[in-house]
Amino acid sequence: MKGGEDNSNLIKVAIIDNGADKFRPRIRDCIERGVSYVKADTGSADRILPWWMVSDPHGTQMASLVSAVNPWCRLYIARVGKGRRDILPEDAVQAVK
């Protein structure tokens, strides 16, 4: 919401997936916040991958579906995997908390 509008009554939806492309026109205005729990495979063990740079489109597709149903919702993106099959349960639990 822009211009100081009250968004306290908007539906808040968590997308706990492999991130979402924040540059997609359909979802960019709906994203309220994003966070990533995914560590890079490189030598830096504490480097966290950005939630908005995704290698698999699944999280972006889910965010697009939600925003298509309700374009006034607020999306909270939690990246807990790089792809569709590498989501760790402990990262998903941390995202829910």
pLDDT in tens, 13-65: 999 999 999 999 989 999 999 999 988 877 666 789 999 999 889 999 999 99
19 close to 77: Cβ distance less than 8 angstroms: yes
Please, which pLDDT band fits residue 69 given cuts at 50, 70 and 90? very high
The secondary structure of 44-85 as a DSSP string is -TTPBPPTT--SSSHHHHHHHHHHHH-TT-EEEEEE--SSSS
Please, which pLDDT band fits residue 4 given cuts at 50, 70 and 90? low
Structure tokens at 65: 């579906």
CA atoms within 13 A on the CB side of 31: 23
